[in-house]
Chain A
Amino acid sequence: VSRALPIAAVSLVWPAGRLDGNPIDGPDEDAFTLAVEAIERLPSPAPRRAIARLRPFGGLPPRLVGDLAEAVGCPAAHVDGRRPLAEVWEALADRPSRGREDSEIMVLVCPSPAFPEPSQEANSAALAILRASDGTRRVMGPAPGPDDTDPSAVPPSALHQLEIDPGETPLFRRDLLGAPGEPAGSAMWALSFWSALTDRSGKPLVLLAGPSGAEALFGLTGAAPAAFGEIPPRPDGFPWKDRTAWLARPSEQPPTLSEGAYVPRPTYVAQRPSRWRLAAVRCSNCGRITFPVRSHCRHCGRTETLEPIELPHRDLRVEAMTVVHQGAQPTEFDRQAAATGSYAVVVAEAASDARITLQLADAVPSSVRIGDRVDLVLRRLIPMEGEWRYGLKAIPSPSAARRTGGGP
């Protein structure tokens, strides 16, 4: 079923200005970190390395596909980052009867239109689908459960333009991570997919925005996607599809200069196993751990006795903590400091001899004290050399409402 859409319906979902509604909780999330988080939340029936393929769909640039595989410790298969939604849908419906026997993780990545250009704009989402070799399918998004469905968030005028009866109460994914009623931008299609996959009601689902604008309007019934219409050209002639270019058009923003936290890309890349997965080495001579990975044991100096290990990401103990207030941050963090006022940094112990310095995320600084336990999540750190630098941050450990510390 295909028909031309009124321009007003498209404009509703493709705002003339930047999307101000920030569906992301905190300035350090984007499509990449959300994809990692979605994968980390998957119930894992087998070790990551036993999973044959990681198949990213959506708008993840090819360069970041390998990075994603590295971040979650799983081999990657490159899939064109700009596949039409219909193909993604078919991939989801794909059954092992086609001859596939291995487990596979598919990730739908819905980046901000400007991604991966360093930008404060978030509007990203991702979800991960684990298809096990027995044919079972598990879907995981970066935010909790499908109970957030909020039909009231659908702009009634949009439904009218789409000739959908509002009384039919279509299933509509409200922005899971931000304020109700805000357009979720690129995030919306992943969230919609998630809804469709987890919904059993069979009601139509209206997707009000897509990653490129071309997919701006889709209806999903839980079985297959159906385009409601072809999108008319923009009055200003700018292609709808190229919202990325539109957002990336020259602006007044000065380039980000390195003012204190500069680590050259080759060094950053070489460190990523330690920075992302807490890769360390254990010395069989002295039994102690060296983190980050070095070519010799930091304690006894031996080089030939090192075995690679990964330190746990859960229940690290906070050993020291400070809150960096406005003006005490390296310049790269100026925008973060301006947005959040201050942020906390902790030194946490992952194992005996292995400490790591991390920002605290998703929590007010006063909620964490020395002695508390934290878990680690991959987040954006700072823009550098035209890309985002990623690293681990600490979040209060949900398993440890048990506070081991006390004191002043």
Chain B
Amino acid sequence: VGRRRAAVIGAGHTRFGALSEGPRELLRSAIDQAVESVDRGLERLAIEEAFLGTLGFSGWQLGNASAIVAEEARVPGLPVVRVENACASGGFALREGIRAIESGQRDVVLVAGLEKMTDVPSSRRRYWLGVSGDTEWERMAGLTFAGVYGLMASAHQKEHGTPPEALAEVAVKNHEHGFRNPNAHLRKRITREQALASPLVADPLRLYDCCPVSDGAAALLLAGEEIGHRFTDTPVPVAGAGAGSDALALQDRASLTRLAATRRAAEEAFKRAGLERSAIDFLEVHDCFTIAELMALEDLGFAPPGGAAELELSGATRLGGRLPVNPDGGLKAKGHPIGATGTSQAYEAFVQLRGAAGERQVAGARSVLAHNVGGSGASATVTIFSTR
């Protein structure tokens, strides 16, 4: 519509999991892969600015973590902005990169997401995850995120009769998808019976309803769409991006079963993209817990309130179905290195829309929506990529 658009010209992704590499190595690997993926090559010094999404990898480099992006990208003096919105840090970093391009201020930017979580004691990890939600009321009541999503799941079940089998189906599907993704943390298939029999973590959520804690990094190179063809014949345009927020604590929100942040982000992204929901070929949604995927389908407008369970149980969201959801395995199976999740979703969009996703390829995919949530829904981004 006359405005300048951004396009992804390269993307890199480390394995997700409990990795031996430290944060610098992970970052370097993701950036190097992104640079190497640029078909006609990219002179690193052409990168004008970078954005880093990270929660602060368990606190041992909390402040000023951006500096290592310039170091590991080997672009001395590169201005870098660290973006933090809990689990949506990567999505918001991406959004800042998109804005830098769309505004005309930059032609080429780097967006990286990074987290290193498995090298600290679990108590410290719980802390770093915990303080990304409401401390004053939720933590003080003895809740971590599993508990907060457990509350939402209980209300969703009460309101809509959401069956446990629908939660289990999300886990089974995403494990099946993750099995086909070489970068995934949990590459194993599970059965619905296994999911339903796994230990309770926070009722009604069970172990298989929860994503793992992972290390990993994912990096993207963005350029102005009109110059994208200098770098590759197949840039992946960002059709539209949106973001939103809601109260930090669940108790202060209008609804316990819907995320207003997601709805607002989706509304903005679709408006900017000028696309209908029917144009979307598959979704990358924020499934930190299985209930979150159901709520995402409803809040993004792909199912009516309470209707996501039926959509999942129909098989429509599996690879090969009408609307595949999380073909990369989602947070559930691919893993959830907090700050890297948003950029990892964009990596998946890049690979899928270029037809390079191998065993997990969504046939003929041309438009994809990526949805990244901070905490229990205090912030969210929605980004639509489209080659249409």
What is A's interface to B at a CB cutoff of 8 Å? 257-263, 267, 271, 292, 298, 319-325, 327-334, 336, 343, 345-347, 355-359, 365, 370-371, 381-382, 389, 391, 405, 407-408
Task: For B144, give its contact among A263, A328, A358 (CB under 8 Å).
Answer: A328
The answer to whether A324 and B140 touch across the interface, beta carbons within 8 angstroms, is no
The answer to whether B144 and A329 touch across the interface, beta carbons within 8 angstroms, is yes
Task: For B146, give its contact among A328, A381, A382 (CB under 8 Å).
Answer: A328
Top 6 nearest A-B pairs (CB, nearest first) are A322-B150, A260-B130, A261-B139, A320-B151, A355-B251, A320-B155
17 A/B residue pairs, CB under 8 Å, sorted by A: A260-B131, A261-B139, A261-B142, A263-B140, A267-B136, A320-B152, A322-B203, A324-B142, A329-B147, A334-B123, A336-B142, A345-B143, A345-B151, A347-B256, A357-B137, A357-B138, A357-B141
The answer to whether B202 and A328 touch across the interface, beta carbons within 8 angstroms, is yes
Question: Looking across the interface, which residue of chain B has its beta carbon closest to that of A294?
Answer: B252
Task: For B147, give its contact among A263, A324, A370 (CB under 8 Å).
Answer: A324
Most chain B beta-carbon contacts within 10 A, residue among A262, A346, A347, A408: A347
The answer to whether A359 and B141 touch across the interface, beta carbons within 8 angstroms, is yes
Contacts of A329 in B (CB 8 A): 142, 144, 147
Query: With an 8 A cutoff between CB atoms, is B170 at the interface?
Result: no
The answer to whether A330 and B144 touch across the interface, beta carbons within 8 angstroms, is yes
Give Cα distance in the complex from A129 to B249, angstroms.
39
Q: Number of B interface residues at 8 Å Cβ cutoff, please give it.
A: 40
The answer to whether A324 and B143 touch across the interface, beta carbons within 8 angstroms, is yes
Interface residues of B in 115-135 (CB under 8 A from A): 123-124, 126-127, 129-131, 135
Task: For A408, give its contact among B139, B147, B161, B256 (CB under 8 Å).
Answer: B161
Give Cα distance in the complex from A343 to B142, angstroms.
9
The answer to whether B143 and A357 touch across the interface, beta carbons within 8 angstroms, is yes
Question: Looking across the interface, which residue of chain B has its beta carbon closest to that of A365?
Answer: B203
Known: A261-B140, A320-B151, A330-B144. 11 other contacts (CB 8 A): A258-B127, A263-B135, A292-B137, A322-B202, A322-B204, A328-B146, A332-B139, A345-B143, A357-B250, A358-B141, A407-B158
Task: For A319, give its contact among B135, B249, B256 (CB under 8 Å).
Answer: B256
The answer to whether B147 and A328 touch across the interface, beta carbons within 8 angstroms, is yes
Contacts of A267 in B (CB 8 A): 136
Contacts of B131 in A (CB 8 A): 260, 262
Number of A-B contacts (CB under 8 A): 137
What is B's interface to A at a CB cutoff of 8 Å? 123-124, 126-127, 129-131, 135-144, 146-147, 150-155, 157-158, 161, 199-205, 249-252, 256
Contacts of B138 in A (CB 8 A): 357
Give the shortest distance, in Å, between A174 (CB) and chain B (any CB): 32
The answer to whether B142 and A345 touch across the interface, beta carbons within 8 angstroms, is yes
The answer to whether A323 and B203 touch across the interface, beta carbons within 8 angstroms, is yes
Contacts of A343 in B (CB 8 A): 142
Give the shortest distance, in Å, between B120 (CB) and chain A (any CB): 11
The answer to whether B252 and A298 touch across the interface, beta carbons within 8 angstroms, is yes
Give the shortest distance, in Å, between B152 (CB) and chain A (any CB): 7
Give Cα distance in the complex from A392 to B137, angstroms.
11
The answer to whether A359 and B151 touch across the interface, beta carbons within 8 angstroms, is no
Give Cα distance in the complex from A175 to B362, angstroms.
68
Give the shortest distance, in Å, between B81 (CB) and chain A (any CB): 27
Give Cα distance in the complex from A319 to B161, angstroms.
14
Give Cα distance in the complex from A298 to B249, angstroms.
13
Contacts of B205 in A (CB 8 A): 322
Question: Looking across the interface, which residue of chain A has its beta carbon closest to that of B201?
Answer: A328
Give Cα distance in the complex from A320 to B155, angstroms.
5
Contacts of A382 in B (CB 8 A): 140
Most chain B beta-carbon contacts within 10 A, residue among A271, A328, A371, A408: A328
Give Cα distance in the complex from A330 to B158, angstroms.
26
The answer to whether B142 and A359 touch across the interface, beta carbons within 8 angstroms, is yes
Give the shortest distance, in Å, between B113 (CB) and chain A (any CB): 23
Give Cα distance in the complex from A358 to B256, angstroms.
15
Most chain A beta-carbon contacts within 10 A, residue among B136, B143, B146: B143
Give Cα distance in the complex from A267 to B137, angstroms.
12
Give the shortest distance, in Å, between B150 (CB) and chain A (any CB): 3
Contacts of B124 in A (CB 8 A): 259
Give Cα distance in the complex from A59 to B135, angstroms.
32
The answer to whether B155 and A356 touch across the interface, beta carbons within 8 angstroms, is no
The answer to whether B140 and A321 touch across the interface, beta carbons within 8 angstroms, is no
A357 with B249: in contact, given A263-B135, A328-B202 (CB under 8 Å)?
yes
Contacts of A320 in B (CB 8 A): 151-152, 154-155, 158, 250, 256
Give the shortest distance, in Å, between A265 (CB) and chain B (any CB): 13
A370 with B158: in contact, given A260-B131, A261-B135, A320-B152 (CB under 8 Å)?
yes
